[in-house]
Structure 1
Amino acid sequence: MQTRKLGYSLRLYVLLSLLFLVSSLVALYSVITIQYFIHGLDTITRQNMVDVARAVTLDENGYATLLDFHITDDWDKVPAVIKENIDEQPSRPYELKKYIIQPNIFTKPTKAYFVTQAVTADGKVCYVSRYSGPPNFESMIHFRKFTPTSKALFIGITVLLIFLTLLLIILRSVAHPVEALRDWAKNLSPKGLMQQPPVFRYNELNTLADLIRGSLLSVQETLEREQKFLRHASHELRTPIATISSNIELMKKIHPNPEPNEKRIIDRIDRASTTMRHLTETLLWLSREDSTDLPTQEIRLDLLLEQCHQDLQYLLQDKAVTVNIDTENATVLLPHVPAKILLDNLIRNAFQHTQEGEVNIYQRGTHVRICNREIDHDKSLNEELGFGLGLDLSRKLAERFKWRYHNDSQPQGHEARIDF
């Protein structure tokens, strides 16, 4: 039997998918927020430099200062500390050049250098620069405890955790009714099908529960009809089978020495009626609803096999078949009648479908193996009864009592294994 491949967890799939989506959005918006924040600071710094350039008047040397800003009309007059850290001068008006020293994105900058090209009130092109470092650099920091990057990341992680908590609550509220539906469907019994399904909070789950119950009710009704048919058919077949058997016995008494052809026909009818009687008994046992509650008793499995062999010995008349029996003393706790029916079916199939060859019956403990080897395989194909019916009934009987049963078809016969 092919093992079904395990599927993925729907809950885990939804959780990871939404978590990945929200994490991506949070990371994207955090990066955009930081970029916009830095761009905004640059815009404000540049505008302040332009306003300073318009507010001051350069001296005869083309130089002026206002607050921390240095204004000059020549790049060579820009403070050396600015030129050491900013290699290129602004090439067009209002272009801002900057260099910020920051150990990492989670710490505050320690030094910052800014320079831009602006126009004074009288229309002269000038360079406005500013250097910020300890101790006056702290005046430029708007967030004392966190850098803008750290604060954006902190807000993003906080939003992500809040979303994850809400997502877990939602999944929990959805998963509980689904698990309740699973447990209800798993534990359904024929008696439980007669009751209305419980309420599972969501209409979709309630509809699914009704569909499951309806489908199982349909299957249950089909099984009940099948069992009823098996019971009725088996009971009805017992009368004609008994009639055939009694007439055969009467024929043997009336005509004890028939011609060889007549004897062959009578034996064939006798074997067929006996086989039909065993199959009918098996069908009756399969149709019994209380068959799994039968009382058990200690059975000598080796003696039971020997009894089945002796009872079915008539099937080997006029056949070149050798029977090899290898058993050991073993006492097993079993329901007697079903065990005998199962072993009768397996041995009968082996005897009935071996015309020339051997049948091996092997038993160790609770394990029984019955196999037949046909020398001419074509001969076994012409037997009057179907080969698969007895084995199929044996399989169903073993499943009913939870006995381990295996049947393997081989080139020259069959091998059946049963473990009680």
Structure 2
Amino acid sequence: MDRPAIDLPSRLLLNLKPWRNAATWRIAFSGGLDSTVLLHLLAHLAKTESLPALSAIHVHHGLQAVADAWPEHCRSVCAALGVPLQIVRVQVQPGASLERAARDARYHTFAEVTGPGDVLLTAQHRDDQAETLLFRLLRGAGVRGLSGMPRQRSLGKGHLLRPLLDVTRAELEAYASTHGLSWIEDPSNQDRQYSRNYLRHQVLPVLVQRWPQAVATMARSAAHLTEAQGLLEELAEMDLREASSGSEFDWLGLRSLELAPLAQLSDARQRNALSHWLEPLTRLPDTDHWSGWADLRDATGDACPVWRLADGELHRAGGRIWWLSGCWLQPLPAVGAWQDPAAPLAIADNGVLSLTGQIPDGPLHIRYREGGEVMALPGRGHRDLKRLLNESGVPSFVRGRLPLLYKGDQLLAVANLKGLDGSTSGDWHLHWQPLNEDQGLS
């Protein structure tokens, strides 16, 4: 049996207990029933409890004319409760799913405003969790998706928390009625063309009529799957530790894994480990797209396979897989003369160059490899640069980005490669600091 609405304040405080030392509690306030109840609860608890500073944020999507009145409603509610309100207007990018586009715009804003020590509170409840489970089940989600909405997760530089996931919609309605609250009724919530609304109005009522505890049992299933996902993540971390050995090219600042330990795992464990590794980097591929991993893994040794994902690419080189994104995938603008070799040279979209030791006579300039380059090496004569790069094991995706130091038409040095990066006597060396991964991310 559902607990009575009178329990809501104490239950909310219990759910928020681990976060009482946060710098700020910011409520995602749409003006609808759920967030109105959450805001009202917290504003009144703040009168008798020592809570972090409360504020609210309203994201205005501007997708329908009636929504233009909502910021003013939210402003008046927050003013009456003494809670500061921030209103942010966003532009929703068109796409296949308007629901998803609006959600992405909303959560992008939330991430931007959530700083260190901040907690963003959203008002999703137990009925929402059941809808999420059904929706993802019908889309063929795996364990991660079927575990539903997490109670907490990282967001921006802080955290997102859903403290009402054990509360039903009926309890929120009862609380709002008892306290005479008013809220916005979004007309789009009645539009059955949206999948979530169809489930809410057409499917769940039928299920609950036949199985009255359906919402509670689905929420319980989501909790079980959350536990299962936790075990899968522990297994992934174990498997990834085996593949996380260092590389002689760690100076590239790129994330990489040793391929052999991964390839020894079962296909399911490979997908599990890689999903865990890729999850912070890109939207994960769907089931059909995982064939790209098999192609990359099983390619012949002299191939340079690439697996293209939503937000970057996986490359294979030197017995490792490498994650590339952002500037690493963009064409490089031309470089030219190094006017002051005694000072570091910032290269457009490709990091910083510096010379140490006795600076060679100039004029000096920087080029990138185009093919056919030859380098004179004492005792070895003139050597084809391609062969020298092969001998050094330079990953194929790096070769076109390696800065080359020239004096006239003479190739003097290849940055960072031992034996090729300066004078044979060691009087000077050419150092390259590539863009780090944060700078390279799109």
TM-score, with normalisation over the residues of structure 1? 0.20
Greater Rg over alpha carbons, structure: 1
Pick the structure with more helix per residue: 1
Q: Which has the higher contact order (CA 8 A, sep 6+)?
A: 2
- Give the TM-score of the pair, scaled to structure 2: 0.19
